[in-house]
Amino acid sequence: MRPDQIQPEKYQQQLAEKQAGLNQLMADLGLPEMEVFDSEPCHYRMRAEFRIWHDGDDLFYAMFDSADPRTPIRTDQFLAASALINTLMPELLDAIRDVTVLRHKLFQVDFLTTTTGEALISLLYHKPIDDEWNAAAGELNKAFPACHFIGRSRKRKQVLTRDFVMETLTVNGQKFHYQQVENSFTQPNAGINEKMLTWALDVTKQASGDLLEMYCGNGNFSIPLARHFDRVVATEISKVSVNSAQLNIAINGMQNVQVVKMASEDVAAALNGETELPKSLLQAGMETLSPSVVLVDPPRAGLDEATIELIRKVDEILYISCNPETLKANLESLASTHQVVRYAMFDQFPYTHHVETGVYLQRKSV
């Protein structure tokens, strides 16, 4: 993305174009009318990554256009990023410009912020991080007491205070607290995430029984949705995210959610009867889980055949997708058994061609 692509005065126009494009792609699926959820037109991204460009002893943030990946675009401010990131950007460069050990071979800075004012800053180097760096970074941290710093080099990750932030999201007036760990998946647009969670609660408001969730990340959906179900079993491949989900379940006081670290392919193989139920699923009570709803939020590749066969067995499916192309293919597979009853577009990534979609499916009556 180029920084000059963010033009708040053109926000509504780009949203309308995205909506038209998605409707065109999905035209032959016979979907219900699309519900559209807009983003804040600027300062909507809670995280941002910048290359660092060196010019003699000076340095500046840079971004690149995918069409011209060799030419750095100087980026002193980035309208898409949170207001806090924009405040920190110049302050950080001012603080490290004259400290050779912090500046030398610094090639990237990653910011992760929250709506509650927390910030995690990762400094990435093309050199080993040593004790001298550690001491200088400690001094830097004193100048930014509200921030958490991490240094990264090829073989070392140096965490100065901690490697996570705590985010609070409000859904239907209720506050939910989430640990978000550096370099693990979190929804980038906090405002849109709150809208997605509110929508997910709305589409499942008549649900009862149990929820099976796959690709649960840090428990983003599992925790607010838990109140609609007797029990929730959620699965996820990343150990870091599973650990966060477990912490998040505890700090939000959820008693009925179990998280299991397992690849969706393995969950599907076990629940489709192709392999034995592994101990971790048994311990989570999977044998007695009776899901009335299954929630899937896969990566861009969408769902594999085995996972489609698994979710087809459940009466209601909540599918959150970050790739309309794979969503479309998966909906075509599911069309023989399920029909889409709710359909929403969430503008998670304004000014890009990326679209986040939510669909709610119910089993067709025979």
Ligand X SMILES: C[S@@+](CC[C@H](N)C(=O)[O-])C[C@H]1O[C@@H](n2cnc3c(N)ncnc32)[C@H](O)[C@@H]1O
Strands 35-37 and 291-296: unpaired
- Residue 322 among the catalytic residues: yes
Q: Which is nearer to ligand X, 80 or 192 (CB)?
A: 192
The interface region with ligand X, picked from 116-124, 233-241, 333-341, 345-353 by CB under 6 A, is 233-241
Of these, 44, 60, 111, 221, which contacts ligand X (CB under 6 A)? 221
Of these, 50, 133, 176, 215, which contacts ligand X (CB under 6 A)? 215
Does 139 count as an annotated binding residue? no
Give least dist CB 272 to ligand X, A: 15
Task: Please list the alpha-helical segments (H only) found in the chain.
Answer: 11-25, 83-96, 100-103, 131-143, 190-203, 222-225, 239-251, 264-271, 279-283, 305-311, 324-334
Give least dist CB 158 to ligand X, A: 24
Sheet holding 257-261, edge to edge: 35-37, 338-346, 356-363, 316-321, 291-296, 210-214, 232-236, 257-261
Task: Decide if residue 220 touches ligand X (CB under 6 A).
Answer: yes
The interface region with ligand X, picked from 202-210, 230-238, 324-332, 340-348 by CB under 6 A, is 230-238
Give least dist CB 234 to ligand X, A: 9
**Which amino acid, residue 86?**
N
DSSP sequence for 67-136: TEEEEEEE-S--TTB-HHHHHHHHHHHHHHTT-HHHHTTEEEEEEEE-TTS-EEEEEEESS---HHHHHH
Q: Which is nearer to ligand X, 129 or 234 (CB)?
A: 234
Q: Is 364 helix (H, G, I), strand (E, B) or coil?
A: coil
Does 13 count as an annotated binding residue? no
Of these, 31, 79, 216, 286, which contacts ligand X (CB under 6 A)? 216
Name the packing angle between helices 131-143 and 83-96 (round to 10°): 130
Q: Which is nearer to ligand X, 137 or 190 (CB)?
A: 190
Does 236 count as an annotated binding residue? yes
Query: CA-CA distance, 44 to 67, in Å (whole number)?
Result: 24
Query: CA-CA distance, 363 to 366, in Å (whole number)?
Result: 9
Does 215 count as an annotated binding residue? yes
- Residue 147 among the catalytic residues: no
Cβ–Cβ < 8 Å for 197, 295:
no
Task: Decide if residue 238 touches ligand X (CB under 6 A).
Answer: yes
Of these, 135, 263, 329, 341, which contacts ligand X (CB under 6 A)? 263
Query: Which of 16, 6, 62 is CA-nearest to residue 351?
Result: 6
Of these, 1, 322, 344, 361, which contacts ligand X (CB under 6 A)? 322
Query: CA-CA distance, 118 to 66, in Å (whole number)?
Result: 30
The interface region with ligand X, picked from 106-114, 149-157, 184-192, 247-255 by CB under 6 A, is 184-192
**Distances from the Cα of 107 to the Cαs of 60, 110, 153, 354, in angstroms?**
10, 10, 10, 27
- Write the interaction track for ligand X spanning residues 276-315; mark x where CB under 6 A is met and - where it is not: ---------------------x-x----------------
The interface region with ligand X, picked from 149-157, 231-239, 250-258, 351-359 by CB under 6 A, is 231-239
Give least dist CB 332 to ligand X, A: 21
The interface region with ligand X, picked from 64-72, 137-145, 259-267, 285-293 by CB under 6 A, is 259-267
Task: Decide if residue 217 touches ligand X (CB under 6 A).
Answer: yes
Provide the token pair at 207: 């649900």
What's the gap between Cα 363 and its chain centre?
A: 28
Task: Decide if residue 118 touches ligand X (CB under 6 A).
Answer: no
Does 362 count as an annotated binding residue? no
Task: Say how many C-beta atoms besides its own lie within 10 A of residue 333's C-beta.
Answer: 15
Known catalytic residues?
322, 356
Feature table: binding site for S-adenosyl-L-methionine: 187, 215, 220, 236, 297
Q: Which residues bind ligand X (CB under 6 A)?
A: 185-187, 215-217, 220-221, 236-238, 241, 263-265, 297, 299, 322
